Amino acid sequence: MEHQGPLKRDLVAGLEKGLAVIESFDQERPRLTISEVAVRTGLTRAAARRYLLTLTHLGFVSQDRKMFALTPKVLRLGQSYMHSARLPRIVEPELHKLAYALKEASSAGVLDGNDVICIAATSAGRVVSPTLQPGTRVAAHCSGNGRVLLAALPPEDVDAWIKRQDLVALTPNTITHPERLRIEIARARSLGYACIDQELEMGLRTVAVPLRNYKGEVVAAMNISVHASRMSMEQLVEHCLPPLLQAQAHLRMLL
């Protein structure tokens, strides 16, 4: 591992910690003191202070007495990806078409560590999960996109991935047993799609397919989610899988 990484003298020391300071703010702790940022990032208090002052100076953080908070300018950084990346720009129109035709919610995502990061989403007028938008993260082990993305990894990588996980139960349905999860991922691999019945959120059923590029490599996953009260899993597969597979085939020529 070590000799493959960049040389230490090639790395900019301030950047990693500065980005970690931005990421240290979240819903539970939207406003932080210098000491709290220090604790959350592993920096000394003096270093945390310098990072916060720098970010305040650059307009990414605002200060109110002893409390610091992120400003909307931080959204610029995410938008740089949304504007520059090929993947969301190609997937988004297809996802909108699919969602509006079915009148259901649809999202696309990629794997990042333990999570699936949403790169495009639409609720097609229904408010299933109005907070789902580019950048939203969900646990990969119990989401539709996560399961097909895991199914695209070599089996030994899946095993290593599962070993690293806590496999938290988000609902009573969440599969938390490593061996059962391994079987479900293998099933998604052989079927070419994954079904999730209220494992991520009660009342939410999802069917997901991998998105491959023209070389056949899986580059993302795409799903349709419905309220459990409106469709059984069988109805979901019967009604939503065929158009999802059509979108998959169409995107393969574009990706």
For a second copy, the binding residues in 24-43 under the rule CB under 8 A are 24-27, 29-30
Least distance CB 183 / a second copy (angstroms): 28
Complete edge-to-edge strand list for the sheet that includes strand 105-112:
137-139, 115-122, 105-112, 218-227, 204-212, 194-197
Report, in Å, the least distance between residue 87 CB and a second copy: 8
Q: Are strands 194-197 and 204-212 parallel, antiparallel or unpaired?
A: antiparallel
Q: With residue 82 as reference, give the H or E element that holds it.
A: helix 75-84
Nearer to a second copy by Cβ, of 124 and 200: the residue is 124
- Please report whether residue 255 would count as binding a second copy according to CB under 8 A: no
| Residue partners of 36: CB distance under 8 A and separation at least 6 | 29
Closest to a second copy by CB, 44 or 232? 44
**Distance of closest approach, residue 150 Cβ to a second copy, in angstroms:** 16
239 binds a second copy (CB under 8 A): no
Cα separation, 173 vs 142, in Å, equals 9
Token output for 6: 């960049």
Nearer to a second copy, 131 or 229 (CB): 131
d(C-alpha 210, C-alpha 236), whole Å? 17
Using the minimum distance from each CB to a second copy, give the nearer residue, 89 or 250: 89
CB of 129 to a second copy, least distance (A): 12
Q: Which stretch binds a second copy (CB under 8 A): 21-29, 138-146, 155-163, 201-209?
A: 21-29
Q: Determine if 72 is a binding residue for a second copy (CB under 8 A).
A: yes
How far apart (Å, rounded) are the C-alpha atoms in residues 99 and 216?
Answer: 24
Residues 255, 247: Cα–Cα separation, whole Å:
12
Tracing tokens 């959350």 back to the chain, one arrives at: 40
Q: In sequence order, which residues have a C-beta less than 8 Å from that of residue 107 and are 6 or more positions away?
A: 95, 118, 120, 121, 122, 132, 145, 222, 223, 225
Judged by CB under 8 A, the chain residues 78 through 137 that form the site for a second copy are 78-87, 89, 92-93, 96, 100, 110, 112, 117-119, 122, 124-125, 127, 130-131, 133-137
CA distances from 255 to 31, 161, 214, 217 (A): 41, 26, 6, 10
List the one residue from 66, 73, 227, 230 that touches a second copy (CB under 8 A): 73
Q: How far is the CB of 166 from a second copy (least distance, A)?
A: 20
Q: Give the DSSP H/E element, type plus range, for residue 138.
A: strand 137-139
Residue 217 in contact with a second copy, rule: CB under 8 A = no
Residue 10 in contact with a second copy, rule: CB under 8 A: yes
User: Which residue of 33, 39, 40, 56 would you call a contact of a second copy, by CB under 8 A?
Assistant: 56
* Part in contact with a second copy (CB under 8 A); list of ranges 58-66, 142-150, 205-213, 221-229: 58-66
